[in-house]
Amino acid sequence: MRLRFHRSLDDLNEKLLVMAGMAEQAIQRAVEAYRVRDLSICDLVDRGEVAINRIEREIDQMALDLLAMEQPMAIDLRFTLAVIKINADLERVGDSARNISDRVRDLQRLPQVEVPVDIPRMGSLATGMVRKSIQAFIEADADMAESVLTMDDNVDKLNSLAHTSVLAMMKEKPEFASQALHVLMIARSLERVADHATNVAEDVIFWVRGADVRHHVREADSAVAGESISPN
């Protein structure tokens, strides 16, 4: 029984890592599609999004089965809930990749023009945050998860810089406003990816630190029960 339980937890963990890898790759591909203006990479991103959506449902089902059949306690319960929440964020990273890919297609239909926003750098920061938040999850490392929250400030700064540069360009060369706007929207999609990584990091912190708290009071279950289901 416990063996099956731990195998289920391991399976869930492994599947979430596959999902995280796919989400990270989706963003890298979308940024690459932008950088080299290659629509065949956009197709890959779009197909990848379908696969990500499917795996999201599979993970939800696995987590649900695990909760229903194994009724995990304390830290394992928190772990399972963290997986469910992280899963939802990773799926939306896939959506962001798809949005970027749509914008690259729009850009391709317009005269090419240099827009002064460093999309590859923002992309690399955002995927770095996704990677690190998942690393923190794998290692159950709340401190590492906290470092992701700091990284988010850098992405916000770059995004704010993008906003300023794009506005200046729009005023100077209004005939290229469409291109500038598409690039700004790509920057915002990357900012959303960073937000999702931040959410993942917060879930890791809640799981690890919350679990620690629970762990200490496990011996005094009934007291905790009385305390934590107290009225609002």
Judged by CB, which is closer to a second copy: 36, or 229?
Answer: 229
Minimum distance of a second copy from residue 217's CB (angstroms): 12
Minimum distance of a second copy from residue 121's CB (angstroms): 22
What are 58's two structure tokens? Answer: 């599979």
Judged by CB, which is closer to a second copy: 36, or 68?
Answer: 68
Minimum distance of a second copy from residue 122's CB (angstroms): 17
How far from 213 is each of 74, 124, 205, 209, 219, CA to CA, in Å?
10, 35, 12, 6, 12
187 close to 119: Cβ distance less than 8 angstroms: yes
CA nearest 198: which of 139, 152, 136? 152
Judged by CB, which is closer to a second copy: 31, or 169?
Answer: 169
User: What span, in angstroms and rounded, lies between the C-alpha atoms of 114 and 158?
Assistant: 17
Minimum distance of a second copy from residue 167's CB (angstroms): 6
Residues 6+ apart with CB under 8 A from 41: 29, 30, 32, 33, 101
Q: Which positions touch a second copy (CB under 8 A)?
A: 8, 11, 14-15, 18, 58, 60-69, 71, 73-74, 77-78, 81, 84-85, 88, 163, 166-167, 170-172, 174-175, 177-178, 181, 184, 188, 206, 225, 228-229, 231-232
